[in-house]
Amino acid sequence: MNKVHFVGAGPGDKELITLKGYKLLSNADVVIYAGSLVNPELLEYCKEDCQIHNSAHMDLQEIIDVMREGIENNKSVVRLQTGDFSIYGSIREQVEDLNKLNIDYDCTPGVSSFLGAASSLGVEYTVPEISQSVIITRMEGRTPVPEKESIQSYAKHQTSMVIFLSVQEIEKVVSKLLEGGYPKDTPIAVIYKATWAR
């Protein structure tokens, strides 16, 4: 019996998908990919007769139905997620539904965009005597953030921060960082589609 393969697509550059992810993608019969979040160039690795579904306009039930139908027809199914699905990957609900349907799955990690961004900039997040920790967080949006995890609360640590899903509110991000205690001369980089070809 086939299984659903959750595959981290990497940070954008199609050559930064893992070797295992590439093999799963190139052998898949059905691929569901995360719309504008996944570089469509990755789909060039798919077989010619692969069924490709853009999940940007699909709800959870539609995604699960495509997975279930693929497995019932003995197809290899890949759910191609942006970056690495362990960071803001939203696979929990999909996994819960697959468990209810007794559909087996596995997870192949990807390179997160925060790693691709650092490589693109030629920087490191941990620098002796400056920062030995990295905080990964996001601005509050549709998904609320507990007060103890607010950006201004984390800013008090004055360590390296990676702030996802917040570029549309950059002024608000800067304001909260300053409010939390970062000095005005703290270096920052605003990154969008870090390793994608320009």
Per-residue pLDDT of the chain (198 residues; tens, 9 = 90+): 689 999 999 999 999 999 999 999 999 999 999 887 899 999 999 999 999 999 999 999 999 999 999 999 999 999 999 999 888 888 999 999 999 999 999 999 999 999 999 999 999 999 999 899 999 999 888 788 888 899 999 999 999 999 998 888 899 999 999 999 999 999 999 988 889 876
Domains of the chain: 4-108 (3.40.1010.10), 113-180 (3.30.950.10)
pTM for this structure? 0.88
pLDDT score at 1: 67
What residues contact residue 162 under an 8 Å CB cut-off, 6+ apart?
114, 117, 125, 134, 135, 136, 137
Say if strands 134-138 and 160-164 run parallel, antiparallel, or are unpaired: parallel
pLDDT score at 92: 93
